Amino acid sequence: MKYEVIQKKIQANPAVVVEFWAPWCGPCKIMTPQLLKVEKEYADRVKLVRINTDEDVEIAREMRIMSIPTILAFQNGLQVLRKTGALNQEQIQTVFEASLNGKPASGGSIQTRERILRIATSAALLMIAAFTGYPWYLLVVAGIVFFTAVYDRCPIWNAISNAWKKKQA
């Protein structure tokens, strides 16, 4: 499949969810039954496009897919949500809802500008630490600031936070 074909599918449908996966990917295999179940639930409203990254490397590169599984939600051709890592059924439904509503539910991904600002702040703190003899408290603060920039893409953090939320419910 070509990148242009995917773009046409995204533009032609008001609500589209694109999943990037690979046959060897364990989290992808675990997530697939739940994804297909949610697809059936939203069949008349949301189009699901599954892209095997081993076969369609060009598309993954063009859409800046760095790890799999990654799911993108589009509404009227515009990306409204990106989730990386294995998702449970409830999280997959959130992605499908975002493609319908045009906005992610609360707790969505950090915006790119905010992510870059946090990473830059962390780098600045590390530079200050380097010039002041690496005080431990600056290193800890830099680490915490950096983690706030990337936590939503960390599969371990997602697994722990999901387990915690289930325990609390």
Residue among 6, 10, 28, 73 flagged as catalytic: 28
Residue among 6, 10, 15, 25 flagged as catalytic: 25
Q: For residue 166, which amino acid is it?
A: K
Half-sphere exposure of 79 (CA within 13 A, CB side): 15
Element (H, E) at 83: strand 78-84
DSSP assignment of 5-34, as one string? HHHHHHHHSSEEEEEEE-TT-HHHHHHHHH
In angstroms, rounded to a whole number, what is the distance separating the alpha carbons of residues 49 and 79?
A: 14
Residue 25 known to be catalytic: yes
Q: For residue 38, which amino acid is it?
A: V
Q: Taking each helix axis as running N to C, give the angle between helix 26-41 and helix 89-101, from 0 to 180 degrees, rounded to the nearest 10.
A: 50
Place of tokens 């074909």: 5
Residue 28 known to be catalytic: yes
Nearest CA-CA partner of 70 in 38, 105, 27, 37: 27
- Show which residues are catalytic: 25, 28
